[in-house]
Chain A
């Protein structure tokens, strides 16, 4: 009886929704046309020549195509969209997409990351998602703008003959043909891959076949299909550069997947992608161009005898005392250079021994003991309150005992060491960085491996801070050094501190791990350093 009731209820609900959809059809059609989300030729090309569209393919789409997941636009993958955003059958995906703005920018396919694209090329956060799509489709691809980090139009056009002739563009070619034809969307040279991920990503879900790479994991195409079904995902959801071993190693709670790549992928598809978990190593070559393009023009012989003229202030925040010896070893690379040094020790972990140790290692240091407020940024702000004229210095070196409990110890150490190596890794590195900072147009010098461009959960606070700091729209795209161990021009520090020193930073005591991961003012201010550099027309050097 209950089942029967459920059946009729669903039938009725479908009927009502279909009625509503048909009632709004002409209105929806008008909007879709207005947004530029329907391409007649493209839509028609998906059907056999015998199909009669009654001279109105859009109407056909709204009556029938939409329910069969036919794509209305070369860059709108309707099936992928419906699955990725878990839409109900009668929701119009195009209107759902068109309504998204700001941080809620949705993607029309797996490879056009509208938010990333807007942050990198459009420098405006107020555009609608469909405007971004149209920008890429009409202009962006022609000038080799990437739709996401993993699609390189220049490489794709240059590597695969004939793809440039595809009427609807390179990305449309890749989505429609290239992927399942096992073409790569970017230059694989020097990058790390896992064969299983590549093979899975290139599966054609409509004609599933198990190749050599997949056969150890799946003994039939049915099993392969059901794998994707169980992950609620499509093959293109797997990042080509997903390294299951790194995913397991770098996320401390996923060690169990270290030798089980398939389960690591499943976990990522179900949870990891939403949680922004790290899954691959960074390739230094991709990031270091900005430093080496400057560095190769510097006369190295001259540098050997150079005495840097950079009045430096070193701010050190120690939350984890066990990391102090490591930091001290790095700070020793500053010996011989002139600098003032300030330490902020945190009350929670403060010990007299630590205080004495710092005092004996750095007799001239100013040491304060503070509450655990505002993470490392709070510590730096505390220390800045003791400096009467920030611009009496040329540069600030920001150092802290960085640990990231939400990721594995291995990745956490790597992160910290990468940051420290690039800032004060050796006397030579210090000299290089000071040399770079002698140029008053240098805003920041830090580790290229940890350059980051995502606002993530910090959207509200980030927008608020941009306003507080009077950052203009053209300088509001997110590009910064993740980890805040870096050299910064004193003008940047002064700009930030003079406007934000009254900001109430969050108390970090007795808070969950999730709280510490992201979303605090400290995470926002970390990002804002990059915007201030843009605002003051200072260059950021990632090395």
Chain B
């Protein structure tokens, strides 16, 4: 089967990262044409380049081009008429303009939704997501109960078929990358390296309001007895939507460290004692899975979204609002009585079995094979 696999981005962030991994798994039995709407580091990764039948960049992302919706659909149609795939796999609603094109070309369309309500609304405001989307979709794959609820609520029509799954990661890869010894030491605003005699609390992502960078920074201000480490872009150039920057520069603190942009965040997870997810919205952040896999104690809030299903079984889940006060109070309690060996080896094995990207991809592959007449044959 020939699958056109669409990703809205090719950077090392959540949905594209999962998309590339799923596509890699599909490529064992299928011809996968990877089409991204924007350039990024994943496109040049040799492992992926060798796995895919073809790699294309349509350059139609709203972040890099000014194409209107009909033009974007027309470009998509043109590519599909040329490539003639048997199935169109649209990874994330951020690429959902491709769904209409797929339908016009009479190709079965699978939409893999990673987004939650606010993201859907913002995609709607830039005319990428439309409420009649289910018209074009033959199968909806969702990454969590919350993500499924949100997209159903935001659409005006019901979806024909829904497959509810979890997000998954490539554990082997995470394990290998985490062992890298050559990584840049995190520094605080005074360019000092991290104190080694304090417990370290970390969070990972591109600093922004959505990721709760302000909550993380405020908590650091209140808990001077701990190191706080932001893994990922923090400074103005790399994270332009970081709402904590003014305070970071205005009233600097010495227990707050950043790594800024990094290709390999996993060694930093190893410096961590407690991973906290401060995101205001995140359908199913991979970082939580990665942190749990690396045996870090994880803490998050239910209002964030999908990670709650993970945290209520393998971490600590605070039900409800995301606030500095709640975070501060729980962190203090944790360190008054350290939770050693929070995840036993047995539970970790269970976790790996459930969240392995290979098995998740296999489930999707079985489901999509019923959408096309052609049987799956090794590429």
Q: Which residues of A contact B (CB under 8 A)?
A: 344, 347, 350-353, 355-356, 359, 363-371, 382, 385-386, 388
Contacts and interface: CB of A to CB of B under 8 A. Distances in A.
Interface stretch (B2-10, B222-230, B237-245, B313-321): B313-321
B145 A370 contact: no
Contact of A352 (B320, B334, B346): B334
B250 interface: no
B329 A368 contact: no
A359 B314 CA distance: 9
B320 A371 contact: yes
Contacts of A344: 319
Nearest to B299: A369
28 contacts: A344-B319, A347-B329, A347-B330, A350-B333, A351-B333, A352-B337, A352-B338, A355-B339, A364-B313, A365-B313, A366-B313, A367-B313, A368-B302, A368-B308, A368-B312, A368-B317, A368-B319, A369-B316, A369-B319, A369-B330, A370-B318, A371-B320, A382-B319, A382-B320, A385-B302, A386-B309, A386-B312, A388-B145
Contacts of B316: 355, 367, 369
B39 to A, nearest CB: 38
A364 B333 CA distance: 24
- Measured as residues with beta carbon below 8 angstroms from the partner, the interface class of chain B is 20 to 34
Contact of B318 (A347, A363, A364): A347
Contact of B339 (A356, A364, A388): A356
A18 B89 CA distance: 92
A367 B330 contact: no
A344 B326 CA distance: 16
Nearest to A388: B145
A370 B319 contact: yes
Given A366-B313, A386-B308, 12 more contacts: A347-B326, A352-B338, A359-B342, A366-B312, A367-B312, A368-B319, A369-B330, A370-B320, A371-B326, A382-B320, A385-B319, A388-B145
B68 interface: no
B270 interface: no
Nearest to A383: B319
A310 to B, nearest CB: 24
Interface in B236-273: none
Given A363-B347, A367-B312, A368-B302, A352 B339 contact: yes
B118 to A, nearest CB: 19
A365 B302 CA distance: 16
B317 A369 contact: yes
A353 B337 contact: yes
Contact of A369 (B309, B318, B342, B346): B318
A97 B346 CA distance: 70
A355 B318 CA distance: 12
B148 to A, nearest CB: 9
Contacts of B317: 367-369
B92 to A, nearest CB: 22
Interface in B327-354: 329-330, 333-334, 337-339, 342, 346-347
Contacts of B318: 347, 368-370
A366 B329 CA distance: 22
A314 to B, nearest CB: 15
Nearest to A371: B320
A293 B308 CA distance: 45
A385 B312 CA distance: 13
Contacts of B337: 351-353
B369 to A, nearest CB: 26
Interface string B290-328: 000000000000100000110011001111100000100
A360 to B, nearest CB: 8
A353 B320 CA distance: 22
A351 B333 CA distance: 7
Contacts of A368: 302, 308, 312, 317-319
Contacts of B329: 347
B293 to A, nearest CB: 18
A463 B66 CA distance: 58
Nearest to B149: A388
A351 B326 CA distance: 14
Nearest to B309: A386
3 residue pairs, one from A and one from B, having the closest CB atoms: A370-B319, A366-B312, A352-B339
Given A355-B339, A356-B339, A386-B312, A350 B330 contact: yes
A507 to B, nearest CB: 12
Contacts of A386: 308-309, 312
B313 A352 contact: no
Contacts of B313: 364-367
A355 B330 CA distance: 12
Contacts of B326: 347, 371
Contacts of B333: 350-352
B238 to A, nearest CB: 33
B277 to A, nearest CB: 14
A361 to B, nearest CB: 13
Contacts of A388: 145
Nearest to B164: A388
Nearest to B313: A366
B166 to A, nearest CB: 13
Nearest to A367: B312
